[in-house]
Structure 1
């Protein structure tokens, strides 16, 4: 009997110890993983100092990485070593947030390996080599005294000549499209060294000796940039690579970049079906607006032609080239006031948004964009970059303004600013996870901006048949982006076919369609991110509305969704569903 009691006590103690170990293991694993993430990010920034600076980490601003074979090997060694290190952290012992961070780190490392070993854009995209943007950010930054930033600028310039020599050594059979972009952006960025730097030196308290040293180095930098551009112009490129990726590379890049629960093929099929649905809705609206805008003109039999005629008439309502930027600036506070009045989500008034002319070193890809501060520099300005029509012909400017007419310009501002990109990125920087902030998922970021457009109109913003018709036209652009990107890169879609899709079926102005063709020839997969992210977010919201019924709170959904940072939608959905079950 005594032996039995001792045995039972032993088993109780053993079970108790095991239970303590089981409780302790996840806590220790999460602490260990947090430490791993800190070390990982530090090592990441040492490898990618310009990326670090874009996130507000400026301790390595004086370093300019030279992309030679040694550097490519460093990147591969880092990625493989970190993938091995991740195996030390079993997923079953990690918290939900750390599991997402684990997957995002893993995806980033696999993406790096894919880019170097398979995509090899460093060989065929000369536009990857451009120092101007990184140097401009040092001058524009407010994170330190001007003299400190100029000192980093000075040291960083030392590597510019060898940087461009390495670029020339890497380039093999570049695409014609990326070659033209590289020439344009590099020469456009020379003003950073010839104008912006000189202006900054004039305001600084540096000694005359250091100012002269910086000016002399700037001349050397400009010479290296111009030599590179001229080298590209004179390149004997008899067999240029096609800008099209092909099915295999495209599918792999889609999975790594988008991180969706859907495949590229599935998204393409969904986009094709959505285009048909939009055409049906647009016809109903255009038909009802016909008497107002077309008076007694006979209706055409072709439905797409009828829609186009009404859209073309409404599109005549637009601003002027000289007032384009000021019109955007005027609308931002109006959008803020509306979001507050409708209680759609909280917008932090302390985070500044600055509308500016798109810098020359960024020009040539998108007409409007957001440049947001990183998680280390949360209080810095967020820039709304607006493309300029300077130097455009009257015909091209008019075409562009009809595309961004009085209705669509408001939708553009919703997308880029309030409550789209600007708002989402402010929330992202407040996320407790640094990993989610720096590895922001493009489909979630773009998907939120597209979702915000529809959400605003559903809430009653500028409610009218004209606004809804123009919204559907704008949403058709998002849908067509996915179709265009997929077909161009995997099905050899010709420019003529692309123009038919964009102009005839998506009702875009010729200037906009030409710009989109230019963009799809310079980028891959990114144009799919809008439709993919939007579809996942909207479907998730509608599912919750159906399940929760009258208790569903739109503001709470928005703020909870955004609180997870710029993580892939599939992971945010997973976490939110887990929380609902608790």
Structure 2
């Protein structure tokens, strides 16, 4: 890292084109970030979930850049080092957090599925020689033992009888992490202040819309004097319409063609039908972080591979009440906004465009604020273009959804720097955020990372 930073320093910014100046800044930030994460934050010591071989093997297996045989040879080379990889992981872990140790167990248990029937079937049908197939099969078995050994280590040695550090990183580390991750002219403190102001603006708009909707959905009832109570009563009516527990992922799939058609009909931007979007249940090795939906996109070296829209299924251990709470959070209105944000024309579309950049630096080291900012902008762009018939219903629930992004900026700061408790966070999100309790507790888990 030091060597590469020195090489970058040899370029005078004034001698570079505007595009290359941006590339220089992206590379400089990436290198400084890598050094800071390794030397200062040192999460490789206290976050056992850092180590998960299933995730990288799953990405290789699902890729399209190289033929199957070549990808399997790459997987074989990687799995040859599985015992050493997990031995190093065990040696590295010092002063872990309980929360990340528990997450590591869950995700590595999910990662074992990567080394199961799908991988074995790919080996069988590949053009590898018999000797290569035999060697890879042996290495798969060795990787399974290494992963299971790590899980056993976490359960028996890490999660029992050991002191844990707090998952909270404190003000100084949070401020620096924010600056490196977000790459904004605003500091973490300034964003917190802006978020608090935007929260007030959203509540004002929600109050106006809820007042107009109240006679329609709460006919005959007295109008509450408390604006928060008024908004909550209307939202409680709107969120009754939602997908069934077993049909959540299917409801997502059904909406994608509708969004594509709206974007095309209104000529909002040019879609690329040759780049597939595949809705799937979130792989087990990615679950447990609190992110109910996400996008896994191929990079510029694998442009023809699928982009996966990961939808986490409701845990089978949830009670009917927990499931109902979650489904009401992702009601029929909000689910459309979620799909705009994650898929079309949000993250999926933006990442397809990113792969077209003539600069590999911009494609690989994208700006996080821009990526997330585009998805949030796309939500409002769609509604302002007429999606949802400009109804107060969809705008009220967009306000609620946007309040989530706003409060995320608040609670991330409060949790990491001001010792906000789970009770504090859930109270804020279910109060002024109007979130369902299941979603609020998911956010508590997500913010710990």
Q: TM-score range by the shorter chain?
A: over 0.9
- Superposition map of 1:322-333 within 5 A: 322-333=246-257
Q: Does 1:81 pair with 2:3?
A: yes
- What is the CA–CA distance in structure 2 between the aligned matches of 1:395 and 1:202, rounded to whole Å? 44
Trace 1:185-264 onto structure 2 (pairs within 5 A): 185-234=107-156, 235=158, 236=160, 238-264=162-188
Query: Cα distance, 1:237 vs. partner?
Result: 5.3
1:418-457 maps to which residues of 2 (within 5 A)?
418-457=344-383
Q: Secondary structure at the match of 2:294?
A: strand
1:488 aligns with one of 395, 398, 415: 415
Tell me the TM-score normalized by structure 1: 0.75
CA offset digits 1:386-416 (Å, max 9, x no partner): 1112513322221111001000000001000
Asked if the contact 2:241–2:332 (Cα under 8 Å) also holds between the matched residues in 1, the reply is yes
Which one of the candidate residues 294, 304, 307 is aligned to 1:379?
A: 304
> CA separation in 2, counterparts of 1:213 and 1:92?
54
User: 1:509 pairs with 428, 431, 436, which one?
Assistant: 436
Decide whether the 8 Å contact of 1:174 with 1:237 is kept in 2: no
Shift of 1:110: 0.7
Contact kept in structure 1, 2:297 and 2:308, CA below 8 Å? yes
Match of 2:38 among 116, 136, 143: 116
Distance of 1:190 and 1:101 partners within structure 2? 38
Q: CA deviation at 1:337?
A: 1.3
Contact 1:83 1:109 in 2 (8 A): yes
The answer to whether the 8 A contact 1:357-1:387 is kept is: yes
Cα deviation code 1:304-340 (max 9, x no counterpart): 1111111011100111122222221121111111112
How far, CA to CA, are the matches of 1:237 and 1:169 in structure 2? 18
Alignment RMSD (CA, Å): 1.3
Tell me, yes or no, if the aligned pair for 2:63 and 2:302 is still in contact at 8 Å.
Answer: no
Q: Give the deviation of 1:361 after TM superposition.
A: 0.8
Task: Provide the rounded CA distance (Å) in 2 between the counterparts of 1:441 and 1:504.
Answer: 32
Q: Secondary structure at the match of 1:499?
A: helix
Aligned to 1:62: none
Q: For the residues of structure 1 that align with 2:195 and 2:161, how far apart are their CA atoms?
A: 37
**Alpha-carbon distance between aligned partners in 2 of 1:126 and 1:499, rounded to the nearest angstrom:** 26
1:320 — aligned with what? Answer: 244
State the SS of the aligned residue for 1:501.
helix
2: CA distance between counterparts of 1:209 and 1:93? 54
Query: Equivalences for 1:458-537 in 2 at 5 Å?
Result: 458-462=384-388, 463-522=390-449
Matches of 1:380 and 1:188 in 2, distance apart? Answer: 23
The answer for the alignment partner of 2:49 in structure 1 is 127
Which is greater in Rg? Answer: 1
Secondary structure of 2:448's aligned partner: helix
Distance in structure 2 (CA, Å) of the matches to 1:455 and 1:175:
41
Q: What corresponds to 1:297 in structure 2?
A: 221
Tell me, yes or no, if structure 1 residue 183 matches structure 2 residue 105: yes
Q: Find the counterpart in structure 2 of residue 138 from structure 1.
A: 60
Alignment match, 1:44: none
Give the 3-state SS of the residue equivalent to 2:431 in structure 1: helix
Figure out how many residues of one structure are paired with residues of the other and give that number.
444
Shift of 1:107: 0.6
Write the distance in 1 (CA, Å) between the matches of 2:72 and 2:346.
34
String of CA shifts for 1:407-454, please: whole Å, max 9, x gaps.
000000100011100111111111111101111111110110001101
Equivalent position to 2:89, from 163, 167, 177? 167
Partner of 1:308: 232
Once the two structures are superposed, what CA deviation does each residue of 1:433-492 show, in whole Å capped at 9, x if it has no partner? 110111111111011000110111111111211000000000000001000101111111
Write the deviation string for residues 37-82 of structure 1: whole angstroms up to 9, x where unpaired.
xxxxxxxxxxxxxxxxxxxxxxxxxxxxxxxxxxxxxxxxxx1111
The residue number in structure 2 matching 1:389 is 314
Hey, what does 1:274 align to over in structure 2? 198
Residues 361-388 of structure 1, C-alpha deviations (whole Å, 9 max, x = no match): 1111211111111011112111111111
**TM-score, normalised via structure 2 length:** 0.96
Higher mean C-alpha displacement, 309-318 vs 201-210 = 201-210
Secondary structure at the counterpart of residue 237 of structure 2:
helix
Q: Which has the higher contact order (CA 8 A, sep 6+)?
A: 2
Residues in 1 aligned to 2:117 and 2:225: alpha-carbon distance in whole angstroms: 57
CA contact (8 A) 1:415 1:453 kept: yes
SS in 2 for 1:318: coil
User: What CA distance in whole angstroms lies between the structure 2 residues aligned with 1:211 and 1:415?
Assistant: 42
Structure 2 residue 280 is the aligned partner of structure 1 residue 352 = no
Is residue 408–residue 470 contact of structure 1 (8 Å, CA) maintained in 2? yes
Q: List alignment gaps of at least 5 residues for structure 1.
A: 1-78, 523-582
> How far has the Cα of 1:207 moved from its partner?
4.0
